[in-house]
Amino acid sequence: MRLKVLQIPGEHPYVRQVCPGRWRFASSPLEVPSLALTPEWIGRHHHEFDLVHLHFGYEHLSADEMQVWIAQLGILQVPLVLTVHDLRNPHQLSSEAHDRHLDLLVPAAAAVITLTTGAAAEIRHRWGRKAQVLEHPAVFGTPTQPMLASGRERMIGIHFKDLRRNVVEPDLVVEAALIGAQTASARLRVDLHPGVRNRLELRLTRGLAEQGLIDLAVHERFSDPEFAAYLQGLHAYVLPNRFGTHSGWLEACRDLGTRVVAPSCGYYADQWDEVVGYQHDETFGLDPVSLSAAVQQALTADPVPPADPQMRARQLTDVRRRHEEIYRGAVRRLIEPRQAQPMAVISG
């Protein structure tokens, strides 16, 4: 039997990879936020698919709205598969709202998936649930351009994008990274989207650019080819996050052979063994000395090769196979009414 899986969100590169079209419910809503996150939509369409796979994109719901949506799935006997991409939402200043969502979703799910062993261990500790660990597949295929020439000036990059909520004190991150880059006789490039160029938090960064000490690039969001070319132009990349869990950008760096300098928060180091860590989290904040040292280490280490495309292909095949196994298992373990009982206690 070929299952029809309602994916939420309905359109995302990761979702397209792990759930090929032959499994995907063709009418999964593409709007963001998804219309499928309402009990009314589920009530009208539940007979058209076999189960729901929720990834992310539910920040707009209150805990009460989430509880009603989950209860509707239970009433209609629609299994829920949950992938926990984020144990700490990078778009929210406080962890409280996301914690309340997970307190409802994780116990109610017929199956739980996450991306790293560290995240799986936290899920078991917090909710007593075993999460299947399915690694993030490749973002890019085999590099189409030559790798950096050995004689070229070494370059490390930080992309602040639109200054997500988890990018805290970006000037301090730039200052510490610059010290590490200068120690390694390398250049620091900082990228921003136009809407945040004049933000107060970036005053020092603008000043360093005016002095010619860093390269500041302000532009709209990269296309996929531009993103690949950007990463291939770097010897290393700094993730500037103070909180978060996993990173698709880290996987893109892995594909193209760009070493990653990642913070101590979350489980970035579990994604790839070529990650160089530094101290940066919500408890202790940024340790600039550790960041400077990590940048220097990343720039002076031997170049890291791009991911083996055959290995990545095998990995994707395995991830898809295991998703299918999880989906088939979920339809055999329909959400039972008794699972809805603890939710009222958790949400209250």
Helices (H) and strands (E) in the chain — how many of each? 12, 13
State the distance between the two ends of the chain, measured CA to CA, in whole angstroms.
40
The amino acid at 33: P
SS3 sequence of 157-187: EEECCCCCCCCCCHHHHHHHHHHHHHHCCCE
Distance in angstroms (rounded) separating the CA atoms of residues 2 and 5? 10
Q: How confident is the model at residue 142 (pLDDT cuts 50, 70, 90)?
A: low
Domains of the chain, by residue range, sit at 5-138+315-347, 155-300
Residue 139 has pLDDT above 80, yes or no: yes
Distance in angstroms (rounded) separating the CA atoms of residues 108 and 80? 7
User: In this structure, are strands 111-114 and 80-84 parallel, antiparallel, or unpaired?
Assistant: parallel
* Cβ atoms 214, 174 nearer than 8 A: yes
Cα pseudo-dihedral 5, 10, 11, 13, rounded to 10: -50
Tell me the average pLDDT of the chain: 92
Share above pLDDT 70 across residues of the chain, in percent, rounded to a whole number: 93
Residue 141 has pLDDT above 90, yes or no: no
User: In this structure, are strands 51-54 and 111-114 parallel, antiparallel, or unpaired?
Assistant: unpaired
**Identical fold, 5-138+315-347 and 155-300:** yes
Joined together, the tokens standing for residue 324 give: 């299918």
CA distances from 186 to 189, 214, 239 (A): 10, 10, 18
Average pLDDT over residues 37-43: 97
User: What one-character DSSP code corresponds to residue 196?
Assistant: G
Span 155-300: which CATH code?
Answer: 3.40.50.2000
List phi, psi (to 5°) of 167: -95, 100
- DSSP β-bridge partners for residue 192: 218
Determine the distance from the C-alpha atom of residue 62 to the mean position of all C-alpha atoms in its chain, rounded to a whole number. 22
Radius of gyration of the chain (CA): 21
**Residues whose CB falls within 8 Å of the CB of residue 215, separated by 6 or more in sequence, listed in order:** 187, 188, 189, 190, 209
Joined together, the tokens standing for residue 55 give: 């990834």
* Cβ atoms 123, 112 nearer than 8 A: yes
Residue among 181, 186, 184 nearest 154 (CA): 186
Determine the Cα angle at 141 with ends 55 and 32, to 5°: 30
Sign of CA dihedral 246, 252, 257, 258: negative
**Residues whose CB falls within 8 Å of the CB of residue 27, separated by 6 or more in sequence, listed in order:** 45, 48
pLDDT 10s digits, 324-348: 999 999 998 764 443 444 433 333 3
Residue 194 has pLDDT above 50, yes or no: yes
Residue 180 has pLDDT above 80, yes or no: yes
Determine the distance from the C-alpha atom of residue 25 to the mean position of all C-alpha atoms in its chain, rounded to a whole number. 24
Q: How confident is the model at residue 20 (pLDDT cuts 50, 70, 90)?
A: confident
Residue 6 has pLDDT above 60, yes or no: yes
Which overall architecture, per CATH, does domain 5-138+315-347 show?
3-Layer(aba) Sandwich (3.40)
Residue 146 has pLDDT above 60, yes or no: no
Q: Strand runs (DSSP E) across the chain, as ranges? A: 5-8, 51-54, 80-84, 111-114, 132-133, 155-159, 187-192, 215-218, 236-238, 259-263, 275-278, 280-281, 285-286
Distance in angstroms (rounded) separating the CA atoms of residues 284 and 264? 10
Given its phi and psi angles, is residue 37 left (phi above 0), alpha (psi -120 to 50 degrees) or beta?
A: alpha
Q: How confident is the model at residue 233 (pLDDT cuts 50, 70, 90)?
A: very high
What does the pLDDT read at residue 238? 98
Distance in angstroms (rounded) separating the CA atoms of residues 327 and 207? 53
